[in-house]
A and B are shown apart, each in its own frame.
Chain A
Amino acid sequence: MALIAAALAVTRYNVVHALLYLLAMLLALAAAFFALGAAFAAVLLIMVYAGAIVVLFVFVVMAVGTSPQAIAREREMLQRSWPMPAAISVLVAAPFLFGIGEQAAGNTAPIAAQAVGRLLFGPWAWAIELASFLLLAGLIGVRHIGRDRAQEPEE
């Protein structure tokens, strides 16, 4: 399900269609997270990806718009030059597929959000600090890139 939606998302010619398939892929992924016992991660995925990131894309599409000739050019380009990237991605995926063996049965209990929080704000506090640095750098970078003109759709 997630794979089909992903394949559709990267092959659509219209940006809005691609975004909708990206959303379908994210929701399927969140369902998989729920099934894996990671409810906290699933909720985070829906909130941050589906809520924030896709909305950011939609804002940019709204600000920029899509013209029919851009869609036509995209279609022409994708039809002309798909085999080489496809071969490269098969090469990328092949080691994963052959490298995975059969494992013994593992844990079955779901992992509570409490455990994640205890990990993140206990031994992994440095990682949280790094993530906040990354977000701050991103914020300043976006501010700098979008500075010269008056219109600033991000942040």
Chain B
Amino acid sequence: MTGTALTGMMIVAAGLFATGVFGVLARRGILFQLIALEVALSGPALAFIAAGAYHGDAEGQGMFVLVLTLAAAEVAVGLALFLRIRRSKGSDDSDAVSGLKG
């Protein structure tokens, strides 16, 4: 793996993360925001893998496994919250719960 390839992969990773951030900020549907969060998490995952491959080290993939467990837990909790909000507010809009104790 060349340095140029690493640079390209890092640019792709940054682009993925920025796209995910855009999605989280721009969308209002909670389901869409969760999907965008997945996109944003895959950026750092790609960066870990690329850096691990570049340095010939298994630690990149080790971190990737941890990122994967984080994503799994986050999605499970997020979807449970989504269903709960939808039941109690009758809406899938994240602005519906903008007030605490509302």
Contact = CB atoms under 8 A, between A and B. Distances in A.
Interface of A: 2-3, 6-7, 9-11, 15, 18-19, 22, 25-26, 29, 32-33, 36-38, 40-41, 44-45, 48-49, 52-53, 56-57, 60-61, 63-64, 70, 73-74, 77-78, 81-82, 84-86, 88-90, 92-93, 96-97, 100-111, 115-116, 118-120, 124, 127, 130-131, 134-135, 137-139, 141-142, 145-146, 149, 153-155
Interface string B48-82: 01101111111111101110111111111101111
B interface bracket (residues with beta carbon within 8 Å of A): 35 or more
A137 to B, nearest CB: 7
A146 B83 CA distance: 8
A16 to B, nearest CB: 10
Contacts of A32: 9, 12, 46, 49
B26 A93 contact: no
Contacts of A84: 25
A63 B86 CA distance: 11
Given A56-B75, A139-B76, A103 B54 contact: yes
Contact of A37 (B2, B25, B53): B53
A109 B21 contact: no
A106 B3 contact: yes
